[in-house]
């Protein structure tokens, strides 16, 4: 994805995580095979394999079609753009998890009481946007 803006708090586009989806689909396939390798009755093995396939399929779809299309973080405030829906705004809750490959944080929307979680892999954003997002989340706790 192309870089958008150099200023902090810019709108950062979010795309699919194809590499993570490939890893999850491979692990789901191995888990399906492992479900058939145990000594349980056939119907239990079949049920477990189907359950793993369905859960893995939902996880892959979620990685390929993320519910967030854009992200803006300014200090402790966050705005999530969702395709075909109104953007949601809120405040970051707790400490964000920032690593070179993945960023995760909890946020509380302005309209609800319960916090939500957002996780983004590095491949879902351009390199410069991901770096800016990491810096913004790390500096969001400082006064």
pTM of the complete model: 0.78
The count of C-alpha atoms lying within 13 angstroms of the C-alpha of 129, restricted to the half-sphere facing its C-beta, is: 22
The kind and range of the H/E element at 108 are strand 102-109
Domain that holds residue 51: 18-64
The answer as to whether 31 is a domain residue is yes
Q: Does 114 have pLDDT greater than 80?
A: yes
At 31-61, the pLDDT tens digits run 999 988 888 899 999 999 999 999 999 999 9
Q: What is the DSSP string of 34-94?
A: HHHHSSS-HHHHHHHHHHHHHHHHHHHHHHHS-S-SEEEEETTEEEEE-TTS--EEEEEEE
47 and 82 inside one domain? no
74 plus 51 within the same structural domain: no
CA dist., res. 133 & res. 41, Å (int):
49
pLDDT at residue 141 above 80? no
7 pLDDT above the threshold of 70: no
Q: Phi first, then psi: what are they for 131, rounded to 5°?
A: -60, -45
């Amino acid at each position: 994805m192309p870089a958008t803006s150099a200023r902090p708090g810019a709108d950062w586009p979010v795309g699919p995580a194809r590499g993570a989806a490939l890893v999850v689909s491979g692990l789901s396939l191995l888990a399906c095979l492992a479900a058939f390798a145990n000594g349980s009755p056939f119907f239990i093995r079949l049920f477990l394999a189907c359950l793993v396939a369905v859960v893995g399929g939902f996880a892959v779809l979620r990685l390929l079609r993320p519910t967030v299309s854009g992200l803006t973080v300014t200090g402790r405030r966050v705005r999530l753009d969702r395709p075909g829906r109104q953007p949601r705004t809120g405040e970051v809750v707790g400490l964000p998890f920032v690593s070179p490959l993945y960023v995760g944080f909890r946020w509380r929307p302005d309209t609800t009481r319960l916090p939500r979680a957002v996780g983004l892999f590095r491949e879902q954003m351009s390199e410069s946007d991901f770096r800016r997002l990491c810096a913004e989340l790390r500096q969001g706790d400082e006064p």
